[in-house]
Amino acid sequence: AQKITQTQPGMFVQEKEAVTLDCTYDTSDQSYGLFWYKQPSSGEMIFLIYQGSYDEQNATEGRYSLNFQKARKSANLVISASQLGDSAMYFCAMREGRRGGADGLTFGKGTHLIIQP
Amino acid sequence: GAVVSQHPSRVICKSGTSVKIECRSLDFQATTMFWYRQFPKQSLMLMATSNEGSKATYEQGVEKDKFLINHASLTLSTLTVTSAHPEDSSFYICSAPRGREGIRGAQYFGPGTRLLVL
């Protein structure tokens, strides 16, 4: 079974609209972390936001927020007031709790977001 | 600014040659670094964990004799693709974990290396 599932291969959104990118995860660990990264066409991975499994509040970073629903194992990314520069691939990723920072991330397949003027 | 660098950013080589890719943490020490591979229009797949002072640990299905990893110092890990073949053509990207505002396991990624094997 996939550990990270992103069900939207591609999305088209009008500029200035809000957009939600879906992510569900599967883990039996109690301690884990969820990340969202943006990858523009240049290939660099840009960290956007993080949610720890024990965090009670949803994470927010500027225009990005993470809608964390632990019981449903979902960690959707919400981008408010989308901009043309938001067009990119977006990846949801998970760090499982075995060794904290010494574990690599598991990535979803990504969502290609295109913002239209 | 960038905190993890990779060199080279792009390499084209002939089939059968070996290619070395360097990953450096710029202003912090990293006892652990990670190597990922990304094929076109696909996700990043963890290949291996590079450990300073000990052997790298490889993910299932990754040939350790083909992808040699050396964590030479606390700021440098190298990935050598030995006897490269066209199917090894991919985007290789490294990352290093760094404490970041209390984010456990946060990773900074290098800019990646595009490898094309002819």
- If one counts every other C-beta atom within 10 angstroms of the C-beta of residue B17, the result is 13
pLDDT tens for each residue of A56-115: 899 999 999 999 999 999 999 999 999 999 999 999 999 886 555 567 899 999 999 999
Contacts of B84 (CB under 8 A, 6+ apart): B13, B15, B16, B17, B18, B19, B115, B117
The pLDDT value given to residue A99: 55
Tokens of A68: 């964390």
- How far is the alpha carbon of B56 from chain A, nearest alpha carbon, in Å? 12
Q: Which residues have a Cβ under 8 Å from the Cβ of A56 and sit 6 or more positions away?
A: none
In 3D space, the residue among B76, B50, B53, B77 whose CA is nearest the CA of residue B64 turns out to be B50
Question: How far from chain centre, in Å, is Cα B62?
Answer: 13
Cβ contacts from A onto B, under 8 A: 67
CA proximity to B78, closest of B88, B92, B90: B92
pLDDT given at position B98: 75
Which residue pairs, CB below 8 angstroms and at least 24 apart, start in B50-53?
B50/B23, B50/B77, B50/B79, B50/B94
Return the pLDDT at A60. 94
- In the predicted structure, residue A47 carries a pLDDT above the cut 70: yes
Q: Is A111 on the interface with B (CB under 8 A)?
A: no
Query: B53 or A84: which carries more pLDDT confidence?
Result: A84
Q: From the list A45, A100, A109, which residue is nearest B105 (CB)?
A: A100
Of A72-76, B27-31, B62-66, B97-101, the range with the lowest mean pLDDT is B97-101
With beta carbons less than 8 A apart as the criterion, state whether B13 and B115 touch. Answer: yes
Taking contacts as CB-CB distances below 8 angstroms, the residues of chain B near A51 are none
Q: What is residue A59's predicted lDDT score, i.e. its pLDDT?
A: 93
Residue that is written with structure tokens 């979902």 in the block: A74
A102 compared with B107, residue with greater pLDDT: B107
Q: Does A108 touch chain B (CB under 8 A)?
A: yes
Nearest Cβ partner for A100 among B59, B95, B104? B104
How distant is the Cα of A14 from the closest Cα of chain B, in angstroms?
A: 23
Separation in Å, CA of B44 to nearest CA in chain A: 6
pLDDT at B27 over 90: no
- DSSP β-ladder status, A19-21 and A24-25: unpaired
Burial class (CB in 10 A: 0-12, 13-18, 19+), B62: middle
**Nearby residues of A79 by Cβ (< 8 Å), 6 or more positions away:** A18, A19, A20, A21, A63, A64, A86
pLDDT of residue A87: 97
What per-residue confidence (pLDDT) applies to B105? Answer: 59
